[in-house]
Amino acid sequence: MIEGHKEIEVPAGVPVWDVDPYDPAVLSDPSDYYAELRAKGPFVYLSTYSALACGRYEETKEVFSDWERFVSSRGVGLQDFSLEEPWRPPSIVLEVDPPYHTKTRAVIERALSPKAVGDLKETFREAAGKLVDELLEKGTFEAVEELAETYPTTVFPEAVGLRENDRRRLVDYGEMVFSAIGPDNELRRNAMAKGPDVVPWIMEQCQRERLKPEGFGATIYAAAAAGEITEEEAGMLVRSLLSAGVDTTVAVLGSALWCLASNPGQFDLLKADPKLARWAFEETLRYTSPVHTFCRTANVDTEVSGVRIAEGTKVLCVLGAANLDESHWPEADKFDIGRRPAGHLALGAGIHGCVGQNVARAEGEAVLTAIANKVESIELAGQPVWRPNNSIHALARLPVTFRGA
Ligand code: HEM
C-alpha cells in the first residue's frame, strides 16, 4: 500500500510523472504543475503515490461527478477507507455515497436553504460594510488576517448558531481537516499537531445544548428530534459545516483581493458596476480554485477517455488545473470579471457539489459589493505569500492598501 491505498499498475498509454503535487513549492505556486499536467494527457501516473491524476476539464469533471464509478466513500484523500481506518470518523456527507448520502445531504440542504441564507443577507451586508469602513480608516492592512479571516469568522459562526467564537481555532480546524486529506507529509503532521487543542473545542461548540435556538445548527438538530437522523449524526453534520465552510471562504476572499489588486482594470469595471460583484466572485473561484485537489476512488474496473482505470485506483481530481484548461476556457489564464464562468469546478459538480455555495456566495458578494461601493483603489503593499495546504489554495499574507474617495 502507498499512503493507505492500493498500489496500481501504470495503465497503458499513461505517462509516468515523478512530480510531487503535495510538495509545498508546488502547492504555493501550482501554475506550471497545472499546465504540465494538462499537457501530458487526460491522465498521468504519479509514481510518488501510485495514483492517477487528471487536470483537463472534461476528464476531471467526469471523474469528480460520477459517484457510481468513482466513489467518495473510500475517502476524498489519498487514503482508501476500505483498506485502512481513517484518522477520524469520515464526514457523513462528503465521504459517503447514496443512499446514505441522500439522507444526510437532505438535512444539510434544508438547513442551508435559499430562504435561510436569504434571511442572513442583510446581516452579511452590514458586517461587510462595517469591516470595509474600518479597513479604509487603516489604509494599509494585512488582508488575510484582517479581512479574509476576519469576515467569515465574524458572520459564519453566528449563522451556524455558535455561542462562542474563537477565530484562530475555527481557521485552524478547517486547515487541519483539509491538510489531513493529503499524504503523510510535514504539512499534514503540522496541521494534525493542532488537533488536541482544536478538536475538543469544536466538538463542544457543536453539541445541541451549546447551540443557539436559531441558526443552521438548530435546523440540523431539529432533524434529529424528528427522528430523521440521530443526535450523534446531527453533531457530525454541524461539525462538517465548520470544517468545510471556514477555510474555503477565507481562501476565496484573500484570493479575490489579490485578483483585484493585481488587475486594476478589472477593479475599475467592478467599481463602475458593483452588480458585477457576483461575477467577480465566480471568476475568483475559477481562477484560483480554493479547493485545488480532492480524490475519488474507482469502485469498479472502468475506462475514461480510452484509459483503463482499475478498481481501487485513487484519482487526484485537480480542480485547479481543470478551471484553467484553455481548451475549455478561452484565455484561461486571464482574470476577467466579464466572463460568466458557469460550470467551473471550484464548488464541485454532481451530487457532492458544494452544499454551502449559497452561503459562500452571500459572503463573497457582500464583501465585494462593499469594496466596490466604498474603495477607490486597491494596491498591493508588499509581496503576497501563499500558504501551502494539501487541499486548499490560500494566501498566508497579503499586504494591501485601500484608498477611499
Ligand atoms: C468558496 C467557498 C467554498 C468552496 C470553494 C467550496 C468547495 C467545495 C467543493 C469543491 C465541494 C465538493 C467536494 C466533493 O465533491 O468531494 C464542496 C462540498 C461541500 N461543501 Fe463547500 N465550499 C465552499 C464553501 C462552503 C461553505 C460556506 C459550506 C458550509 C456552509 C460548505 C459546506 C460543504 C459541504 C458540507 C460539502 C459536502 C457536500 C456533499 O458531499 O454532498 N462549503 N465544497
User: What digits encode the pLDDT tens for the residues 391-403?
Assistant: 999 999 999 999 9
Per-residue exposure over 191-218, b if at least 16 CB sit within 10 Å of its own CB, e if not? bbebbeebbeebeebbebeebeeebbbb
Whether the pLDDT of residue 1 is over 90: the answer is no
- Which pLDDT belongs to residue 89? 85
Query: Considering Cα of 28, then 34, then 40, then 45, what sign does the dihedral take?
Result: positive
Backbone angles phi, psi at 339, to 5 degrees: -75, 150
The verdict on the CB of residue 76 being under 6 Å from ligand 1 is yes
The verdict on the CB of residue 256 being under 6 Å from ligand 1 is no
CA of 139 to the centre of ligand 1 (A): 33
DSSP state of 335: -
Whether the pLDDT of residue 172 is over 80: the answer is yes
The verdict on the CB of residue 237 being under 6 Å from ligand 1 is no
Contact (CB, 8 A) for 135 and 155? no
CA of 65 to the centre of ligand 1 (A): 14
Contact (CB, 8 A) for 282 and 62? no
- Beta 302-304 vs 385-387: how paired, if at all? unpaired
The verdict on the CB of residue 199 being under 6 Å from ligand 1 is no
Query: Considering Cα of 103, then 104, then 107, then 108, what sign does the dihedral take?
Result: negative
Supply the residue whose CA is at minimum distance from atom 3 of ligand 1.
248
What atom of ligand 1 comes closest to residue 361's alpha carbon? 1
Q: Which of 92, 178, 248 to mutate to test the pocket of ligand 1 (most atoms within 8 A of CB)?
A: 248
What atom of ligand 1 comes closest to residue 72's alpha carbon? 16
CA atoms within 13 A of residue 383's CA, in its CB half-sphere? 2
Domains of the chain: 16-403 (1.10.630.10)
Supply the residue whose CA is at minimum distance from atom 27 of ligand 1.
245
The distance of Cα 49 from the centroid of its chain, to the nearest Å, equals 23
CA of 290 to the centre of ligand 1 (A): 10
- Cα–Cα distance, 231 to 238 (Å, whole number): 11
Supply the residue whose CA is at minimum distance from atom 36 of ligand 1.
354
* Number of residues written out for the chain: 405
Q: Which amino acid is at 165?
A: N
Average pLDDT, the chain: 97
| pLDDT range class, residue 197, cuts 50, 70, 90 | very high
CA atoms within 13 A of residue 356's CA, in its CB half-sphere? 23
Find the angle CA(65)-CA(215)-CA(119) to the nearest 5 degrees. Answer: 85
173: Cβ–Cβ under 8 A, 6 or more apart, which residues? 198, 199, 202, 242, 243, 246
What atom of ligand 1 comes closest to residue 152's alpha carbon? 27
Tens digit of pLDDT for each residue in 42-67?
Answer: 999 999 999 999 999 999 999 999 99
Find the angle CA(231)-CA(216)-CA(87) to the nearest 5 degrees. Answer: 55
Whether the pLDDT of residue 405 is over 80: the answer is no
